[in-house]
């Protein structure tokens, strides 16, 4: 490729914040539930780069970008029937079998949502302010060659009230300094606030930590009708909590223990578990649940324990509760 930027290029990252920054210099975008991807297009050739610098193109053959000379920053997403991002379906697209990749490209096609333009023709735009790069991106995507292409322009707003709504109804909000240049690999000029939800869950067991005599994670469960169903785990424990919980959980142990099958997240290691009587309730903060997770028994994303709930009613810890109240 003869572009002014060549892969790999580290994407600019967002700094996690508790609250959205405000000011005339900020614009806001909805936080997508997808794969970060830089797209390098030189003539008919295209290279899709992951956040870590690895090639993604072979997994998404349907993402045929219009010919030209440009470098985009954006996210690859798969949307469900409701129009929302389906991260579970997206994750299934990463598969070694070419036949499966081809089939899923038809069954669950992906789209590329562009939110920045890093280079165009012979010019690198990294030193330009975001507002200038955004204007150039809008002009590029408005071209006839992009009509019908699997490329979308990320929406943006300067309205802080709209941005705060995304913290309730979407995965979160990204705030960007419109005066800032693009800083590859740095957490400057961008901030993110994730949507955080809360739920009461039953502690069905625990897993030992890496250090001796510590709890590594709590195994969480919810009632699905009369059945208690494991839905995820909580590993956001402080060092003191990990030690304290050993003695606290001991009276609730049933004597049952074993190992779970290795998963792609455990580097092939078996996960030891110790079962508990379903008598403890904890309040959990979490920011992501795969579609249908609580309906099918699929694990939810790891949460962070807020507190134990000694006076909580076990019967209220149900799969339906995740859609009620502040959840």
Residues catalogued as catalytic: 31
Beta bridge partners of 69: 42
Q: What is the mean pLDDT of residues 226-244?
A: 86
The beta-strand segments (E) located in 52-186 are 68-78, 110-120, 123-124, 151-153, 172-177
CB 116 within 8 Å of CB 180: no
Question: Tens of pLDDT along 154-210?
Answer: 999 999 999 999 998 888 999 999 999 999 999 999 999 988 777 788 999 999 999
Work out the pLDDT band at 152, boundaries 50, 70, 90.
very high
Question: Tens of pLDDT along 27-65?
Answer: 999 999 999 999 999 999 999 999 999 999 999 999 999
Sign, Cα dihedral of 57, 63, 66, 72: negative
Domains along the chain with CATH numbers: 15-194 (3.30.470.30), 197-323 (2.40.50.140)
Give the chain's end-to-end CA distance (angstroms, integer).
47
Q: What are phi and psi of 89, to 5 degrees?
A: -65, -35
Work out the pLDDT band at 105, boundaries 50, 70, 90.
very high
What Å distances lie between residue 109 and 256, 261, 308, CA to CA? Answer: 44, 31, 42
The beta-strand segments (E) located in 140-277 are 151-153, 172-177, 190-194, 197-208, 215-224, 227-234, 253-260, 271-276
Beta bridge partners of 173: 30, 193
Work out the pLDDT band at 288, boundaries 50, 70, 90.
low
Rg (CA), the chain: 23
CB 259 within 8 Å of CB 186: no
Task: Count how many Cα atoms sit within 13 Å of the Cα of residue 315 in the half-sphere of its side chain.
Answer: 1
pTM: 0.71
Q: What are phi and psi of 233, to 5 degrees?
A: -145, 160
Mean pLDDT of the chain: 86
Q: What percent of the chain has pLDDT over 90?
A: 67
Is omega for the bond preceding 311 within 30 degrees of 0, making it cis?
no
């Amino acid at each position: 490729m003869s572009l002014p930027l060549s892969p790999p290029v580290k994407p600019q990252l967002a700094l996690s914040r508790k609250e959205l920054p405000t000011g005339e210099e900020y614009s806001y975008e909805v936080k997508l539930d997808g794969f970060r991807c830089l797209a390098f297009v030189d003539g008919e050739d295209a290279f899709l780069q992951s956040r870590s610098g690895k090639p993604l193109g072979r997994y998404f053959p349907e993402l045929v970008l219009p010919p030209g000379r440009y470098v985009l920053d954006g996210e690859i997403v798969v949307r469900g029937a409701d129009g929302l991002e389906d991260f579970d379906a997206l994750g299934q697209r990463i598969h070694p079998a070419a036949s499966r990749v081809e089939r899923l490209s038809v069954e669950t096609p992906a789209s590329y949502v562009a939110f920045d333009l890093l280079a165009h023709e012979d010019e690198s735009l990294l030193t330009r302010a975001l507002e200038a790069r955004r204007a150039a991106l809008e002009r590029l995507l408005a071209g006839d060659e992009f009509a019908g292409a699997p490329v979308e322009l990320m929406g943006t707003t300067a309205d802080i009230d709209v941005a705060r709504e995304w913290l309730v109804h979407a995965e979160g909000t990204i705030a960007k300094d419109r005066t800032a240049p693009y800083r590859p690999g740095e957490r400057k000029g961008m901030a993110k606030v994730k949507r955080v939800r809360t739920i009461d869950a039953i502690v069905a067991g625990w897993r030992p930590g890496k250090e001796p005599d510590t709890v590594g994670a709590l195994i969480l469960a919810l009632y699905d009708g009369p059945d208690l169903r494991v839905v995820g785990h909580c590993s956001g424990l402080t060092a003191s909590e990990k030690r304290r919980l050993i003695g606290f959980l001991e009276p609730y142990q049933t004597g049952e223990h074993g190992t779970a099958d290795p998963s792609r997240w455990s580097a092939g290691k078996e996960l030891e578990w110790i079962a508990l009587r379903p008598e403890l309730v904890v309040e959990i903060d979490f920011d992501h649940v795969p579609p249908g997770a609580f309906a099918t028994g699929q694990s939810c994303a790891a949460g962070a324990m807020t507190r134990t709930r000694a006076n909580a009613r076990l019967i209220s810890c149900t799969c339906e509760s995740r859609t009620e109240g502040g959840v």
